[in-house]
Each structure stands twice: as C-alpha cells, then as structure tokens.
C-alpha cells in the first residue's frame, strides 16, 4: 500500500472499545492532502484519541473528535505511544 494512504480503524465515543458492539468499529481510508496533511489532530493517550478534525480536510466525514485510533495499516496501535502512531502515518 502506498505510504500516503492510511487505514485507520476507529471506535466511536469515549467508551472502552471492548464494550462497543462490532458495528461501532469502523475502518476508514484517509489520503494525505498536500496542505491539510491527514486533517486531524491526535492526543497522546492510549489508545490515541482524535482531538479535532480539520474542516475541509481529508478526515472530515470520516473521523470525529473523540474517536480512538486502534490500528493503522492493519497494525494494532491500541497501546502504542503517540510517536509510533505518527511514525506509521508518515
């Protein structure tokens, strides 16, 4: 898969992911934009939580503030530090 395409599996809301029904888990593809990047800001907690989504950016209508990033390109990042998540999306 090209480096600029990232698959992000997400959980909705601030619940623990193991408490969510399977239909609450989503897989999205976000392509890097030359100006907006991936169009979201991530926090430093584990799992990494989306803090904000850039209006008009490539993550709009795909990710929401509060979503938990659980996997990137099929790699489990639910307990990974923020730095590893950043490394994977670069």
Domains by residue range for the chain, with CATH: 22-89 (2.30.42.10)
Pairing state between β 75-76 and 5-11: unpaired
- Are the C-beta atoms of residues 46 and 57 closer than 8 Å to each other? no
Q: Which of 47, 53, 55 is nearest to 10 (CA)?
A: 47
**Nearest of 54, 45, 33, 52 to residue 82 by alpha carbon:** 45
pLDDT interval class at 85 (50, 70, 90): confident
The stretch 41-67 carries a mean pLDDT of: 93
Q: pTM, whole model, 2 decimals?
A: 0.71
Q: Would you give the DSSP letter of residue 81?
A: -
Does pLDDT of 2 surpass 50?
no
Among 77, 67, 2, residue whose Cα is nearest residue 41: 67
pLDDT of residue 54 exceeding 50, the answer is: yes
């Amino acid at each position: 898969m090209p480096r600029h395409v990232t698959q992000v599996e997400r959980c909705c809301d601030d619940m623990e992911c193991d408490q969510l029904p399977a239909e609450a888990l989503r897989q999205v593809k976000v392509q890097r934009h030359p100006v907006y990047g991936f169009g979201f800001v991530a926090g430093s907690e584990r799992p990494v939580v989306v803090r904000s989504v850039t209006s008009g950016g490539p993550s709009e209508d795909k990710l929401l503030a509060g979503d938990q990033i659980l996997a990137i390109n099929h790699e489990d990042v639910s307990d990974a530090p923020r730095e590893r998540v950043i490394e994977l999306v670069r």
